[in-house]
């Protein structure tokens, strides 16, 4: 038996996957379920993962997959036998296959522009280095890479030393993870929010506070599209 909040969360994740193909952020899940903190979201996700309803996809930010739903989670299955659980794994795999780029063995060299903070903002260094990236990891558009420094985005699955793959753009929606240039001199990787006429850059780590700036102090320079991680 799942709790009401667990039912609500798995429905919200599935709805977002069907609409956008991307699982919601912890902040979005917290707001959707009207929870006071993201620690409550962590507990719900862990419980659903232990029961085999969802799984986290490794080495990817915001990557959750719904494997199955409880039999009373939607009208289509309400009243079914207790062991008649809707297995969504095949449907999820088919959807991912439709949305994913065609497999490719090609490797693309994209610019590697130094380090970016996942903590307090640090200078984003321009450089001549490049990073080889499998073409299948990149979608349309122009991309570049930044090495992540700090731990303020660990709840989004982004760790110190990861390479953030960024699609170059100057626009983003609330709730997306962006590269934000602050006061034309420092760059940081954060969730983007707009609040009371100000721009709020939210971390994904309860140990850090949001950073709030005037709109003219923040310039979006790209959106996170993927991660690379080295294992030593």
Write out pLDDT tens, residues 87-140: 444 444 445 444 444 444 577 888 888 778 765 554 455 555 788 888 777 878
Number of other CB atoms surrounding residue 139 within 10 Å: 13
Active-site residue identified among 73, 149, 152, 225:
152
Q: Is the pLDDT of residue 178 over 90?
A: yes
Give 72-86 pLDDT, tens digit per residue: 544 333 333 333 334
**Exposure letters 205-218 (e unless 16+ CB within 10 A, then b):** beebeebeeeeeeb
- Report, at the CATH architecture level, how domain 4-99 is classified: Orthogonal Bundle (1.10)
Q: Tell me the helices (H) and strands (E) count for the chain, helix number first.
A: 4, 13
Active-site residue identified among 30, 73, 149, 190:
190
Q: Break the chain into its structural domains and give their ranges.
A: 4-99, 107-228
Lookup: tokens for 12: 């919200």
> How many percent of the chain have pLDDT more than 90?
24
Q: Is the pLDDT of residue 220 over 90?
A: yes
pLDDT at position 82: 34
pLDDT at position 126: 55
pLDDT at position 232: 59
d(CA 107, CA 98): 22
Q: What are phi and psi of 98, to 5 degrees?
A: -65, -40
Q: What are phi and psi of 53, to 5 degrees?
A: -90, -30
List, in sequence order, every beta strand (DSSP E) within the chain. 54-56, 64-66, 68-69, 86-87, 107-117, 130-134, 143-149, 163-167, 177-182, 186-195, 198-202, 211-213, 218-228
Q: Is the pLDDT of residue 34 over 70?
A: yes
pLDDT at position 56: 76
Q: Determine the Cα angle at 166 with ends 195 and 174, to 5°.
A: 15
Could you confirm whether 190 is annotated as catalytic? Answer: yes
**pLDDT-based confidence at 41, cuts 50/70/90?**
confident
pLDDT at position 180: 92
The residue count of the chain comes to 232
Lowest mean pLDDT among 27-31, 71-75, 145-149, 191-195: 71-75
- The CA distances from residue 181 to 53, 116, 124, 189, in Å, are 39, 10, 8, 9
pLDDT at position 46: 82
Fold of 107-228: Umud Fragment, subunit A (2.10.109)
Mean per-residue pLDDT, 200-206: 93
Could you confirm whether 46 is annotated as catalytic? Answer: no
**pLDDT-based confidence at 40, cuts 50/70/90?**
confident
Check residue 52 and report its DSSP letter: T
pLDDT at position 35: 85
pLDDT at position 177: 95
Give 144-171 pLDDT, tens digit per residue: 888 888 899 999 999 988 999 999 999 9
Mean per-residue pLDDT, 21-33: 83
């Amino acid at each position: 038996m799942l709790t009401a909040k667990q039912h609500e969360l798995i429905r919200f994740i599935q709805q977002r996957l069907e609409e956008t193909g991307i699982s919601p952020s912890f902040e979005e899940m917290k707001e959707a379920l009207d929870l006071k903190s993201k620690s409550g979201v962590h507990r719900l996700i862990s419980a659903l993962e232990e029961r085999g309803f969802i799984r986290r996809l490794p080495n990817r930010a915001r990557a959750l997959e719904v494997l199955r739903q409880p039999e009373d989670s939607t009208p289509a299955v309400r009243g079914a036998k207790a062991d008649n659980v809707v297995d969504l794994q095949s449907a999820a795999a088919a959807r991912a296959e439709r949305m994913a780029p065609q497999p490719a063995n090609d490797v693309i060299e994209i610019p590697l522009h130094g380090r970016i903070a996942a903590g307090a903002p640090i200078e984003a260094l321009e450089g001549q280095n490049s990073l080889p990236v499998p073409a299948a990891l990149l979608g349309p558009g122009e991309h570049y890479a930044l090495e992540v420094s700090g731990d303020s985005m660990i709840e989004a699955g982004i760790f110190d030393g990861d390479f953030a793959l960024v699609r170059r753009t100057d626009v983003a929606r609330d709730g997306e993870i962006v590269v934000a240039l602050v006061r034309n001199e420092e760059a940081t990787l954060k969730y983007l929010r707009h609040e009371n006429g100000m721009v709020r850059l939210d971390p994904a780590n309860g140990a850090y506070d949001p950073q709030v700036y005037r709109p003219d102090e923040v310039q979006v320079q790209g959106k996170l599209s993927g991660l690379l991680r080295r294992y030593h």
